[in-house]
A and B are shown apart, each in its own frame.
Chain A
Amino acid sequence: MPVRHLLGLADMPAAAINEFLENALPMKQIISRDIKKVPTLRGKTVVTLFYEPSTRTRMSFELAAKYLSADTVNVSASASSMAKGESLADTARTVAALGADLVVLRHPSAGAPHLLARMVDVPVVNAGDGMHEHPTQALLDLFTLRERRPDLEGLKLVIIGDLLHSRVARSNIWCLPRFGVDVHLVAPPTLVPAGLAALGVTVHDRPEDALPGAGAVMVLRLQRERQQEGLIPDVREYARLYALNGERMALARPDAYVMHPGPMNRGIEIAPDVADGACALITDQVTNGVAVRMAVLYLLMLGRGD
């Protein structure tokens, strides 16, 4: 059954995930050409609705749409409607009335894309909802790993950082174990959400306990606000105990990949030499992000059977 929306990966069948990734392969070829444009989505309009600033994700979606010749309209709702007290429901009706063919939504509230999907007739893509999911990020992470290691069975992947607030971590936790990845999580106990261990992942207090044997390490961005919220005593202490530096990387396998969803706080959650090291896939992630999003736009707008 074709997927109508991309709201999250928790409930998405592996077959649907594979379909997105398979379609990302030819898309990646398109963006490596000199002329990065195909007429596939000509005449279609993609609305990107961002209630939260994120230049990277928005640019990635916009480029993906443009490479496929779709028109894009960007609405930064924080500046306009939200400030005027317009509800998401009202905005949804406006977007539908304007004739959008697909809506990309970034929103600070978990579940906002689900609400939108119930109210509009067109496909909705979740570009990050609160602490809930960031499905295209997890898809591009999976795509990037599989480029290097087509068979992920038995790969030990360590995710280090603020698990409590991370939608990137959540989407990856739903997705990666289904492809045989052995997922290990590391965070200060104050940044670990309840009940994680029930999900078939291993949770550690300290990076040193998790890193031995790791074939890939994914580092999450630390928001400095966590210190004000009293969740960590001090950012420097966090860096001392949790930053992925050369010494800690030495505990992992010598060929272990390093990933980061960006933007990075160099020197806080990741040491510059690790971020720029030979095994870092961080720029691949950015490129693959466009290819994966092209596949998502294509499949949701044209690849649908209904």
Chain B
Amino acid sequence: MELLIRNGTVVDPAAGRTFESDVLIKDGRVAAVEKKITARGARVLDAAGKLVTPGLIDMHVHLREPGQEHKETVASGTCAAVHGGFTAVAAMPNTDPVADRPEVIRYVLEKAREAGRARVYPVGALTVGSRGKELTEMGALREAGAAAFSDDGRPVADAHVMRRALEYARMLGVPVISHCEDLSLAAGVMHEGLVSTMLGLKGTPAAAEDVAVARDLILAEMTGGRLHVAHVSTAGAVRLIREAKARGVRVTAEATPHHFTLTDRAVAGFDTNAKVNPPLRADADVAAVREGLADGTIDVIATDHAPHAAHEKEVEFDLAPFGLVGLETAVGLVFTELVAGGVLDVVTAVAKLSINPARVLGLSRTIAPGAVADLTVIDPDAAWTVNRAELVSKSKNTPFHGFKLKGLPCATIVGGEVHLAARG
């Protein structure tokens, strides 16, 4: 079975360029990238006016399976992923049970195979039960398929444990993804600032993140381990990571669409869909995150897709769980806020959604003959309105309901197989 993507604008972030071309896919691999391809009998996908990019990867997703299938499953989550243009996701290990044993990693991979949609790269837990005490058998988890290690959802409170984790992961050649939060400072349910004061909600200061990022950077520098800072949200964290990179520390970082789009003002009215961890921050932080994306301090855009059922969010603000769903709104937010907003050019934006996360996870993503045909086709001009009822994720906890966005994935191709997004 052949697939011909015709008349698209190929975005090749590895080469830093875009060019008009057809792309032919054969047996799950890219067969040719040329100006005019004729392939009789091939299924044709007209991509005129559209971008053909390396398959997007969301390296920070919570699929909730096993354990909390009422929020999301591997099947529903990967369905949301392909709807959002993602050919692959990295699944965080804070499931129930925690992915701290090879069986859980294998279970998630099996579910992903059954679902047959986006690729799933499970992240193994860094410590047993993600309790922050003893390291997991990282070698065995790696063999079972863990692409990285993290206790995401909670920080590694003990600096000694973090040191050992970075050392051990270095030996395995995989990154440690750190949820940077100093719990003694982070007692709040939103960002500490004028808005938390006005709403009478307990705030978590930006310093709770800055302090933890500073510690992890120091430990990464000391150990030579690869540190990936998850969901950077503060101006202080951006500055610290920028300085560490300049010194040669092996650190990469990600930011989420909600942290570069929304401020803590989104919480006004006590909208629990805007309750996330790390919290939505102040204007200066949002500006700093955008600056960090623009100057390369922040390598990756990831969603921290965190589904929660409606009844779990329909409670008093301080009782609601943290998290929002991000897979299906990410591309629209990137193209609207960052590309149309003049923060990133298309090539850089696509790099942060594809080859950069691939590099962090040790994967490859190219559009070249012979490469696995994981591709995303994006209509950069499609205007659409976010409607929570149309989300295919099991949970609908988005603060972006009603947002008018420009930029929509229109085909997600995994191993040569087309998963068309039904929206738009």
Least CB separation from B318: chain A residue:
A109
Which residues of chain A are within 8 angstroms of B316 by Cβ–Cβ distance?
88, 107, 109, 111-112, 115
Say yes or no: B201 contacts A131, CB within 8 Å: yes
A193 touches B315 (CB 8 A): no
Whether a CB of chain A sits under 8 angstroms from the CB of B270 is: yes
Q: How far is the CA of A195 from the CA of B194 in the complex (A)?
A: 4
Contact A195 B319 (CB under 8 A): no
B198 interface hit (Cβ, 8 Å): yes
Question: Does A196 reach chain B (CB closer than 8 Å)?
Answer: yes
- What 1/0 mask marks residues of chain A from 213 to 230 whose CB sits below 8 Å from any chain B CB? 000000000000000000
- Bound-state CA distance A194–B270 (Å) is 18
Closest to B205 in A: A194
A167 lies within 8 A of chain B by Cβ: yes
Chain A interfacial residues counted at CB < 8 A: 24
B317 within 8 A of A: yes
Is the beta-carbon distance between A115 and B270 smaller than 8 angstroms?
Answer: yes
Best-buried of A109, A112, A132 by chain B (most CB within 10 Å) = A109
Cα–Cα, bound, A129→B201 (Å): 10
Number of A-B residue pairs at CB separation under 8 A: 65
Contact B196 A111 (CB under 8 A): no
Is B314 positioned at the interface, with any CB of A under 8 Å from its CB?
A: yes
- Contact call A115/B315, Cβ cutoff below 8 A: yes
Most buried by B among A112, A193, A196, A198: A193
Set of chain A residues within 8 Å of B203, measured between Cβ atoms: 193-194
A133 touches B200 (CB 8 A): yes
Q: Which residues of B contact A10 (CB under 8 A)?
A: 198
Q: Is A261 part of the contact surface with B, judged by Cβ < 8 Å?
A: no
Using an 8 Å CB-CB cutoff, how does the interface string of B194-237 with A read, 1 for contact, 0 for none?
A: 11111111110100000000000000000000000000000000
Those of A129-145 within 8 Å (CB) of chain B: 129-133
Q: Closest CB of chain B to A193's CB: distance in Å?
A: 4
Q: Within the complex, which residue of A109, A114, A194, A196 is in contact with B319, where a contact is CB–CB below 8 Å?
A: A109
B315 touches A88 (CB 8 A): yes
Q: What chain A residues lie within 8 Å of B317 (beta carbons)?
A: 109-111, 115
- A194 contacts which of B192, B269, B311 (Cβ < 8 Å)? B192
Does B173 sit within 8 A of A, measured CB to CB? no
A111 to B195, CA, bound (A): 13
* A12 sits at the interface (CB 8 A): no
B270 contacts A114, C-beta separation under 8 Å: yes
User: A279 within 8 Å of B by Cβ?
Assistant: no
Which residue on A lies nearest to B196, using beta carbons? Answer: A194
| Alpha-carbon distance between A114 and B194 when the two chains are bound, in angstroms | 20
What number of B residues sit within 8 Å (CB to CB) of A? 22
Chain B stretch 293-321: residues in CB contact (< 8 A) with chain A: 311, 314-319
Q: Interface centre among B197, B269, B317, by most A CB within 10 Å?
A: B197
Smallest distance from the beta carbon of B203 to chain A beta carbons, Å? 6
What's the Cα separation between A111 and B320 when bound, in Å? Answer: 12
Mark out the residues of chain B between 175 and 208 whose CB falls within 8 Å of any chain A CB in the assembled complex. Answer: 192-203, 205
Inter-subunit contact B315/A89 (CB<8 Å): yes
With both chains docked as a complex, state the minimum distance between the C-beta of B194 and any C-beta of chain A, in angstroms. 3
When distances are taken between beta carbons in the complex, the residues of chain A under 8 Å from B270 are: 110-111, 114-115
Interface residue A293 (Cβ < 8 Å from any Cβ of B): no
Known: A109-B317, A110-B318. Contact between A198 and B194, CB under 8 A? yes
Q: Is A32 part of the contact surface with B, judged by Cβ < 8 Å? A: no
If A87-B315, A115-B270, A115-B315 touch, whether A110 touches B201 (CB-CB below 8 Å) is yes
Complex contacts, B198 vs chain A, CB 8 Å: 10, 170, 199
Known contacts A194-B193, A195-B193: does B315 contact A111 (CB below 8 Å)?
A: no
Residue in A89, A129, A198 whose beta carbon sits within 8 Å of that of B200 in the complex: A129
Residue from A110, A131, A133, A198 with most neighbouring chain B CB atoms (10 Å): A110
Residues of B within 8 A of A115 (CB): 270, 314-317
CA distance A114 to B268 in the complex (A): 11
Q: Across the two chains, which residue of chain A brings its CB closest to B192?
A: A194
Q: List the A side residues contacting B311 at CB < 8 Å.
A: 87, 89
A133 vs B197: C-alpha distance when bound (angstroms): 11
> Within the assembled complex, what's the spacing in Å between the Cα atoms of A193 and B200?
9
Nearest-Cβ distance from residue B271 to partner chain A, whole angstroms? 9
For the complex, give the distance between the alpha carbons of A162 and B192 in Å.
Answer: 17
Q: Is the CB of B197 within 8 A of A114?
A: no
Give the complex CA separation of A129 and B316 in angstroms: 10
Q: Could you tell me if A111 and B199 are in contact, using CB atoms closer than 8 angstroms?
A: yes
A114 vs B318: C-alpha distance in the bound complex, in angstroms? 13
Measured between beta carbons, the chain B residues less than 8 angstroms from A133 are: 200
Residues on B with C-beta less than 8 A from A194 are 192-194, 196-197, 203, 205
CA distance A110 to B267 in the complex (A): 12
Q: Compute how far the CA of A195 lies from the CA of B197 in the bound complex, rounded to whole angstroms.
A: 7
Which residues between 15 and 67 of chain B lie within 8 Å of chain A, taking CB atoms? none
- Nearest residue (CB) in A for B198 is A10
**Are A130 and B315 touching (Cβ within 8 A)?**
no
Chain B residues with Cβ below 8 Å from A132 are: 199-201
A150 CB to nearest chain B CB (Å) = 29
Q: How far is the CA of A167 from the CA of B198 in the complex (A)?
A: 10
- 8 CB contacts below 8 A, A to B, read A87-B315, A107-B316, A110-B199, A110-B318, A114-B270, A130-B200, A194-B192, A195-B197
